[in-house]
Amino acid sequence: MKLVQIYECLCDETRLRLLNLLLQGPLCVCHFQTILGEPQVKISKHLGYLKTRGLVMARREGNWIVYALPEKRPHELSANLACLQDCAGDQAVFRRDLARLRQLDLSCSPLNAAGTPVAHGRRCC
Partner DNA sequence: GATCTATATTCTTAAATAGGAATGTAGTTT
Partner DNA sequence: AAACTACATTCCTATTTAAGAATATAGATC
Interface with DNA (CB under 7 A), residue from 20, 22, 46, 55: 46
For DNA, the binding residues in 65-104 under the rule CB under 7 A are: 65
Count the site residues for DNA by CB under 7 A: 34
Interface with DNA (CB under 7 A), residue from 35, 64, 106, 111: 64
Interface with DNA (CB under 7 A), residue from 59, 95, 96, 122: 122
Say if CB 43 and CB 36 are below 8 A apart.
yes
- Give the binding site for DNA (CB under 7 A): 8, 11-12, 14-15, 28-30, 33, 38-49, 58, 60, 62-65, 108, 120-125
